[in-house]
Structures are given as structure tokens and as C-alpha cells.
Structure 1
Amino acid sequence: MIKISTEFDNNDFIPKKYTCDGENINPKIIIQDIPKKAKTLVIICDDSDAPFKTFVHWIIWNIPVKDSYIIVKEGLPKINVLPNNAKQGLNDFGKLGYYGPCPSKHNEIHHYFFKVYAINTKLELDGKITKNILEKAFKNFVVDEGKIVGLYKRT
């Protein structure tokens, strides 16, 4: 299984910097034990505690795999195509890139799942890509996966 680490431990609170109450930038994500069969990575960050549906905060795909260890840098630009040719799609705010935790109710803890999928292909996706489109595109190519859960509540 892929190991993931970041600025917070699994089931620990996400630092304010990575939320709408802070700088609203993605945390650095360290991904380890990526299988040799993997060609690219997909990351999906969503909130399972949102009131009406699982709320998507970030989708990114075609992160190139060159080793069994990759670092996704903190604060990626909120654009479609990144310098390493990885791509970002639309979150449920209707924007490109990462938009952090921002629960509507104060003092209510939400769980944010940062899921990483190692896939054995590069995805040819263009246009307004959403989580549903992305998941359908990669579901048959997954060779491994991992996740880390962060918590956040607004005070």
C-alpha cells in the first residue's frame, strides 16, 4: 500500500494555513512505496461530512512517476496544466486546483480524505474535468492506493 505523509498526521487536525481560514493552499504531500508498474498518480481530496454530498476540494492527475518516492509541492498554482504536465480539474467550488477545508458550520469537525491512486497509464483528459469523470477514467488502471485523513473545524 502506498504511504502518504503531509503536514499533519492521519486523523489529526489540518493546519489553518491549508484552509479557507488561512492561505488556502495545498499541503506538501509525500508519497512513498509507489509500485514500479505505476506511470502516473491521481490525488483526490474530498469532505465526506458535507451536508448534501461528498464535497470535492481537489483533483489532480497525471503526476509523473519516476521513482517510488514523490513529493507534491505545497501551494501549487490554481491552473489546469502544471509545469510537470500534471493536470488539475474542477472542485465543487467550481474552480481549478485546491481549495481547502471550509465547513459552513462552526465547531463541527469534518473529515478530509486525501486519496492517492497509482495508475499504470497517463490519462488523456481535457476540458472541464470533475471527480466523477476522473474516477471513471482511471478506475480500471489502479495498481495501488493510499490515503490520509485530516480533520478541520472552524472556530
Structure 2
Amino acid sequence: MRFTCDGAGLAPPLSWAAPPAGTRSLALIVTDPDAPDPKAPRMTWVHWVLYDLPPTAGRLAEGAKAPPRGARGGLSSWNRTGYGGPCPPIGRHRYFFRLYALDTRPDFASPPDRAALLAAMRGHVLAEATLMGTYRRPGR
């Protein structure tokens, strides 16, 4: 629960193996496709956007407040950079952590939202890894 709004809201620790040859950067997008109600989802809520992660990073530390050295943050659905923990208003929601290996280093003048980053990544994804977790708030 420490990674949610009901706990400390810390960014979870993540780790991965070496990306494929030709990887110039990594991107991480964390989404909840069940917002606001899993029985009647109306939108995909974006919890975290990171890009330009160095291919050698190998991990993100628990509680990361800022992008790791060399990486940059994009905008979440709260219109801010950084991790925002799960806080579903109703029901059990799914949270998808998608890590992309890219053959490019996307460049933006200001922090991009998910749509802008996905558009810049089109045609440049060498590999993708997905981790899915669920969360339901106590008593909801």
C-alpha cells in the first residue's frame, strides 16, 4: 500500500535486464485504463511518464522523486511530472507499467504528455516490457 494514495505514495522500485542492441533510450509510461470505474471505464489515467532513460540504467529506485540522471519526466493526468500513486475512486483498477526500448532519444521543448511521447516513439520501439498490478482502496 505504500505506493498508493492510501500510503506514502512512493514510486515503486523497478528493475529490468539489458535492453536489445541498438537501444538509445528507454521510456516508461504507467497507466490505469479503468478510470474512473472498472465497470464503466471512460478514460486511461496516466500516473507516470519518464523518457530518455539511459539504456544502462537497469532500475528505478523506490521513492524516486525526480527522473534518474539523464532522464526526463513527462506529464501525468494531474498535469505534472513525477509519479502519482494509485487512488481509484471505486473498484479494483489495473495499473500497467510499460517500459519501451527505443532506437532514438525523443526531444521535447517542454514535458510531453503520454500522447505526444507515444507519437514521437512511433516507428522507434525496439522492444516493450509490461508489468501489471491491481489495487482496490480499502472499503471501496
Asked whether the two chains share a fold, i.e. TM above 0.5, the reply is yes
Counterpart of 1:71 in structure 2 is 59
Kindly, what percent of the aligned residue pairs are identical? Answer: 32
Equivalent residue, structure 2, for 1:39: 24
Say which is worse superposed, 19-28 or 144-153, in terms of deviation. Answer: 19-28
Matched length: 133
1:133 aligned counterpart, secondary structure: helix
Instruction: State the alpha-carbon separation in 2 of the partners of residues 152 and 141 from structure 1.
Output: 32
Farther off after superposition, 90-99 or 108-117: 90-99
Of the candidates 58, 63, 71, which is equivalent to residue 48 of structure 2? Answer: 58
- Structure 1 distance, partners of 2:45, 2:120, is 19
Give ranges in structure 2 of 5+ residues lacking alignment.
Answer: 37-41
1:96 aligns with 2:86: no
TM-score (norm 1): 0.81
Pairing 1:7-46 to 2, within 5 Å after superposition: 16-46=1-31
How much does 1:71 deviate? Answer: 1.0
Post-superposition offset of 1:83: 4.9
* 1:86 partner amino acid: A
Gaps of 5+ in 1: 1-15
Cα root mean square deviation, aligned: 1.4
TM-score (norm 2): 0.89
Mapped to 2, the partners of 1:139 and 1:75 lie a distance apart of 30
| Structure 1 moving runs of 4+ over 2 Å | none
Q: Secondary structure at the match of 1:136?
A: helix
Indicate the residue corresponding to 1:12 in structure 2: none
Amino acid at match of 1:58: W
